[in-house]
């Protein structure tokens, strides 16, 4: 006997190839192959009207995003009768097989996740057959490295015994190499060697008799295709990715009754329902059988830092409502494997939506500190708890191969208190989901020595088992900050601004429709769903291609216009926020109660300007000719806000080593340099408002006009800015060195806030060098603090006493035009007595973000209710109508409530 391990393994590889080749025992070319195109994304019916011409093997197809339709005719020979016959079609593209108007399955090849085979018939009848193939000139991740090319188009006889033998051998071969048990590896090597010599399948069968150890880890596997709702392709292509993926997976469910496939995002189901009735019927049948498993509970898988609290609630409201209506039940887990960090308010929002379980794996990407647990209790900001699981394979695209199964067992962090974990397997995006080979491996991993005890389970079955485990579970408190992709708080500023404005406009539209008794539910539903779509975790964060932002900017404009149309126009100022206000509106001073009608009043104060010093009853601000802010004194406390000149516009090198639109690298914050001083300024003043406008050039080719504004009675100094932005790999920040000493800064987050350190003492502190925040951030010490308000920016940093807001980036990938051109945004500085709570910073940020709306006078009965509340002299003496007030209040509350799922 002569043995040498590497030589033996090389022979195993060769044997594996030979076994794979024998799966198709006979192959024939097609008789005729015709092609039509290039054309746009059209229906199968429209494709029948095209002019077809002969296609050749080796022919190339393009350009990117074009579509071609093929017609193939083949003859099944008499000797293939009763056999399974497959189509083998390879084209380095995302293709799909169609049969008389029905999509059969995806045929994506050339980009990983190879799927060149599709069953034509399980039991062949001799004679002619005809099919169609739709070829999309794109790859798994959008653009391809080489063009679509027709490489193979044949029909073949499938040999089930050869297929089984190949997978029996292949799984054991992988285990021989990867197992960390040398004794078992030796047995496998010896027996596989004997199989290669003797080709006796019973040798392999005997090896499969070696079952799990008694204490094997319990692994629940679930198929998945993480289809980003838009990313490196436009929304229109996403729909076709879903058709290709779902049709393939539905086929496999017939062949593998144990197969479970999880699919999230109600929006994707809704598209199938609207556009492909046949596939929808098939899908619903598999949902009913428990094989196609709706998960997630949300409309799309949203970003989980940037949408407002209201938006996150609506993600669940519209998601759960869809799942309940279509499938008779709500989801019980929030499925979010890929979002870039998770706000600490999510556990409460999930719970309110009937969800008690949470799945992600994204934090395994953390650069500074890896998560300490895969299974834990996540306690949110209000104390709500959910059961959280991070699949230990650290991916939602596992290939369900032997190395991944072993990795789960080896790397699971919670063996000391838990016996089970989840494996999410299958190619995502254009990869088409799990392959038959993955399902074969999992069949063989049910009970095999050295592997975890593996079974296909639904997400619900897995979490039920996890929840039933006895003993204590670790508790993790507060936001799950993602130590990566910190640029996504700032990239694609116009989309982020559109999202903020859309959120606010829809709030106003709903409020005004309620008080007027207008039934705007259908339109609000439509507009909200369109907004929820934009919050997908690659759209709102700014990590998609140009085509996606062309769609997003158009859709966001439609949302705002639609909401404004519901609000109506007029000349009555209405306060649509829950805080009273006194401020300048259209040149007059207006007072309004919370959710009330404004009336013109005398201001108690006027604003003055002398040189570059602006002053009202609350503030005295002194600007420099260069556009910086030299001093801001809070007159009530006598405190100076600034330690050094503020409103310092700074440019930073912003060329991340990878993930251009996603990342702000740590070094970037060391490269700051002041922008050039302002060239000129102009002053405009009235007793109610003083504005000084500074004009400056910026960076290499950009320009900026900034109007510094102080109003009568106002507690904030505003910086209203327009920029023509033409930079490359440059980050624009504004810095305020505050005369405040505090170890933590506070940032508004959806329906809450997060405190983050202002120092780099530990690796967890350092990792938070750029953080998300919504309408305000605040640095407060005992008795005094300063808040910075923002109308549309989400990226912040605070080191020591220097609070910075990220304004614009200029990344070049995946969108080479990202953020080029016109931008409008505003921020404001607000010093205050006490902490941010006592100072009413939340209210002030709401006032800054949501101006009073000029609209038609609301109905008399609501005006009466409101008039009493604001003690308007005009309405004095009229009794407040409690019934009316409580009616619209409860109406507004109901429409906002995540538990109002049964209302339409
Ligand atoms: Zn994703």
Tell me: the pLDDT tens digits for 521-559? Answer: 999 999 999 999 999 999 999 999 999 999 999 999 999
Ligand 1 center–CA 422 separation, angstroms: 18
Separation of 336 CA from ligand 1 center, angstroms? Answer: 9
* Per-residue pLDDT tens over the stretch 280-326: 999 999 999 999 999 999 999 999 999 999 999 999 999 999 999 99
Evaluate if residue 618 carries a pLDDT over 90.
Answer: yes
Contact 453, 221 (CB under 8 A): no
Taking only the tens place, the pLDDT of each residue in 566-588 is 999 999 999 999 999 999 999 99
Nearest-angstrom CA–CA distance, 519 and 230? 32
Q: Tell me: the pLDDT tens digits for 181-198?
A: 999 999 999 999 999 999
Q: Please check whether residue 225 is in contact with residue 432, taking contact to mean a CB–CB distance below 8 angstroms.
A: yes
Q: What's the pLDDT score for residue 903? A: 33
Query: What pLDDT, on a 0 to 100 scale, did the predictor assign at position 711?
Result: 98
Q: How far is the CA of 295 from the centre of ligand 1 (A)?
A: 15
Above 90 in pLDDT, residue 896?
Answer: no
How many angstroms separate the CA atoms of 318 and 311, rounded? 10
Ion ligand 1 residue ranges (Cβ < 5 Å):
228, 338
Which one is catalytic: 159, 338, 525, 724? 338
Q: How confident is residue 205, by pLDDT bands cut at 50, 70 and 90? A: very high
Which pLDDT score, from 0 to 100, does residue 735 have?
A: 98
List pLDDT tens digits, range 500-519. 999 999 999 999 999 999 99
pLDDT digits (tens, 9 = 90+) for 791-836: 999 999 999 999 999 999 999 999 999 999 999 999 999 999 999 9
Residue 721 has pLDDT above 60, yes or no: yes
Which whole number is the average pLDDT over 750-775?
Answer: 98
Q: Is the pLDDT of residue 860 over 90?
A: no
Q: Is 739 a catalytic residue?
A: no
Going from the Cα of 538 to the center of ligand 1, the distance in angstroms, rounded, reads 7
Query: What is the spatial distance between Cα 87 and Cα 131, in angstroms, rounded to a whole number?
Result: 10
Q: Above 60 in pLDDT, residue 86?
A: yes
Q: What is the reported pLDDT for 117? A: 96
Condensed to tens digits (0 to 9), the pLDDT of residues 421-470 reads: 999 999 999 899 999 999 999 999 999 999 999 999 999 999 999 999 99
Answer yes or no: is pLDDT of 869 > 70.
no
Does the pLDDT value for residue 766 go beyond 90?
yes
> What does the pLDDT read at residue 884?
35
Tokens representing 461 are 């079955």
- Mean pLDDT for 678-694 is 97
Interval between CA 229 and ligand 1 midpoint (Å): 8
- The pLDDT assigned to 874 comes to 37
The contacts of residue 857 (CB under 8 Å, 6+ apart) are: 570, 572, 597, 863
How close is the Cα of 881 to the center of ligand 1, in Å? 50
pLDDT at 881 over 70: no
Average pLDDT score over the chain: 94
Residue count of the chain, please give it.
Answer: 904
The model's confidence at residue 857, banded by pLDDT at 50, 70 and 90, is confident
Among 419, 417, 523, 425, which Cα is nearest to 472's?
A: 417
Name, in order, each residue with C-beta under 8 angstroms of 225's C-beta and a sequence gap of 6 or more. Answer: 245, 249, 261, 263, 426, 427, 428, 429, 431, 432, 433, 434
pLDDT at 75: 98
pLDDT surpasses 70 at 409: yes
Question: What is the per-residue pLDDT for 865?
Answer: 66
Compute the distance from residue 310 Cα to the ligand 1 centre, in Å: 22
- The pTM assigned to this predicted structure is 0.95
Q: Inter-axis angle of helices 493-516 and 309-327, to 10 degrees? A: 70
Bigger pLDDT: 864 or 189? 189
Contact 85, 157 (CB under 8 A): yes
pLDDT tens, residue by residue, 239-293: 999 999 999 999 999 999 999 999 999 999 999 999 999 999 999 999 999 999 9
pLDDT on residue 890: 41
Answer yes or no: are the C-beta atoms of 89 and 153 closer than 8 Å: yes
Q: What band does 902 get if pLDDT is binned at 50, 70 and 90?
A: very low
Query: Using alpha carbons only, what angle is made at residue 23 by residues 19 and 27, rounded to the nearest 5 degrees?
Result: 130
The percentage of the chain sitting over the pLDDT mark of 90, rounded to a whole number, equals: 92
Q: How far is the CA of 367 from the centre of ligand 1 (A)?
A: 19
Six token digits for residue 118: 């599709």
Phi, psi of 454, deg, nearest 5: -115, 135
Question: Of 342, 274, 364, 278, which Cα lies nearest the Cα of 99?
Answer: 278
Q: Is 862 a residue whose pLDDT tops 80?
A: no
CA–centroid distance, 453 to ligand 1, in Å, is: 29
Q: How many CB atoms lie within 10 A of CB 535?
A: 27
Residue 516 Cα to ligand 1 middle (Å): 41
Distance 549 CA to ligand 1 centre (A): 17
């Amino acid at each position: 006997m002569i043995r040498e391990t590497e030589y033996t393994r090389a022979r195993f590889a060769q044997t594996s190839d030979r076994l794979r080749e024998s799966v198709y025992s006979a192959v024939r070319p097609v008789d005729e192959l015709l092609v039509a195109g290039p054309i746009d994304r059209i229906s199968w019916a429209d494709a029948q009207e095209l002019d077809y011409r002969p296609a050749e093997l080796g022919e190339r197809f393009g350009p990117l995003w074009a579509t071609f339709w093929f017609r193939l005719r083949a003859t099944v020979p008499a000797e293939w009768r009763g056999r399974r016959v497959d189509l083998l079609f390879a084209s380095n593209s995302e293709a799909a097989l169609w049969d008389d108007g029905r999509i059969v399955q995806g045929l994506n090849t050339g980009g990983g996740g190879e799927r060149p085979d599709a069953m034509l018939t399980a039991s062949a009848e001799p004679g002619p057959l005809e099919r169609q193939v739709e070829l999309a000139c794109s790859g798994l991740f959008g653009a391809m490295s080489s063009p679509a090319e027709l490489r193979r188009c044949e029909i073949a006889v499938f040999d089930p015994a050869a297929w089984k033998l190949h997978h029996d051998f292949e799984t054991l071969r992988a285990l021989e190499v990867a197992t960390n048990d040398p004794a078992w590896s030796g047995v496998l090597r010896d027996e596989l060697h004997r199989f290669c010599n003797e080709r006796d399948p019973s040798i392999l069968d005997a090896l499969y008799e070696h079952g799990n150890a008694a204490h094997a880890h319990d692994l629940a596997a679930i198929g998945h295709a993480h289809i980003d709702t838009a990313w490196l392709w436009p929304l229109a292509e996403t729909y076709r990715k879903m058709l290709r993926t779902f049709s393939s997976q539905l086929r496999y469910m017939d062949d593998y009754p144990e197969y479970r496939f999880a699919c999230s995002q109600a929006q994707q189901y809704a598209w199938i329902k609207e556009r492909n009735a046949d596939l929808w019927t098939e899908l619903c049948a598999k949902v009913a059988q428990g094989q196609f498993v709706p998960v997630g509970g949300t409309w799309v898988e949203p970003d989980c830092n940037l949408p407002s609290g209201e938006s996150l609630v609506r993600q669940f409201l519209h998601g759960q409502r869809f799942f309940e209506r279509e499938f008779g039940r709500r989801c019980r887990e929030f499925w979010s494997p890929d979002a870039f960090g998770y706000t600490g308010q999510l556990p409460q929002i999930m719970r309110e939506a009937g969800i008690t379980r949470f799945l992600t794996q994204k934090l395994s990407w953390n650069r500074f500190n890896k998560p300490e647990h895969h299974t834990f209790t996540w306690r949110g900001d209000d104390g709500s708890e959910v059961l959280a699981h991070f699949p230990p394979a650290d991916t939602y695209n596992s290939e369900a191969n032997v190395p991944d199964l072993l990795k789960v067992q080896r790397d699971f962090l919670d063996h000391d208190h838990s016996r089970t974990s989840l494996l999410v397997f299958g190619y995502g995006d254009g990869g088409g989901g799990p392959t038959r080979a993955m399902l074969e491996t999992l069949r063989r991993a049910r009970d095999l020595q050295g592997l975890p005890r593996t079974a296909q389970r639904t997400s619900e079955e897995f979490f039920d088992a996890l929840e039933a485990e006895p003993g204590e579970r670790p508790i993790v408190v507060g936001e799950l900050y993602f130590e990566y992709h910190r640029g996504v708080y700032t990239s694609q500023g116009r989309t982020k601004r559109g999202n903020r404005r859309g959120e606010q406009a829809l709030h106003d539209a709903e409020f005004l429709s309620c008080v007027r008794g207008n039934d705007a539910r259908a339109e609000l539903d439509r507009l909200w769903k369109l907004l929820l779509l934009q919050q997908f975790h690659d759209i709102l964060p700014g990590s998609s291609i140009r085509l996606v932002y062309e769609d997003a900017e158009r859709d966001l404009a439609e949302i705002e216009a639609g909401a404004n149309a519901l609000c109506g126009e007029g000349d009555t100022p209405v306060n649509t926020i829950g805080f009273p206000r006194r401020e300048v509106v259209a040149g007059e001073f207006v007072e309004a109660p919370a959710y009330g009608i404004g009336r013109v009043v005398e201001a108690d104060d006027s604003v003055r300007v002398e040189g570059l010093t602006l002053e009202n009853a609350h503030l005295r601000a002194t600007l420099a000719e260069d556009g910086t802010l030299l001093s801001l004194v809070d007159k009530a406390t006598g405190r100076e806000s600034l330690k050094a000149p503020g409103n310092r516009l700074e440019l930073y090198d912003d060329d991340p080593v990878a993930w251009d639109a996603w990342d702000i690298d740590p070094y970037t914050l060391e490269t700051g340099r002041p922008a050039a001083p302002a060239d000129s300024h102009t002053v405009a003043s009235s007793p109610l408002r003083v504005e000084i406008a500074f004009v400056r050039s910026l960076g290499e080719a950009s320009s900026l006009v900034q109007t510094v504004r102080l109003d009568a009675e106002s507690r904030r100094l505003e910086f209203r800015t327009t920029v023509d932005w033409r930079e490359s790999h440059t980050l624009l920040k504004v810095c305020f060195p505050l005369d405040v000493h505090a170890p933590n800064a506070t940032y508004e987050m959806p329906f809450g806030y997060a405190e983050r350190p202002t120092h780099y003492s530990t690796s967890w502190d350092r990792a938070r060098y750029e953080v998300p925040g919504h309408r305000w951030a605040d640095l407060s010490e005992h008795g005094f603090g300063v808040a910075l308000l923002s109308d549309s920016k989400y990226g912040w940093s605070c080191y020591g006493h220097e609070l910075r807001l990220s304004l614009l980036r200029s990344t070049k990938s995946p969108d080479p035009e990202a953020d080029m051109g016109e931008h409008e945004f505003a921020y404001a500085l607000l010093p205050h007595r006490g902490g941010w709570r006592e100072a009413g910073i939340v209210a002030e940020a709401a006032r800054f973000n949501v101006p009073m709306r000029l609209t038609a006078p609301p109905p008399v009965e609501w005006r009466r209710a409101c008039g009493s509340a604001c003690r308007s002299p005009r309405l004095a003496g009229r009794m407040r109508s409690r019934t009316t007030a409580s009616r619209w209040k409860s109406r507004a509350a109901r429409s906002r409530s995540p538990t109002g799922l049964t209302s339409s």
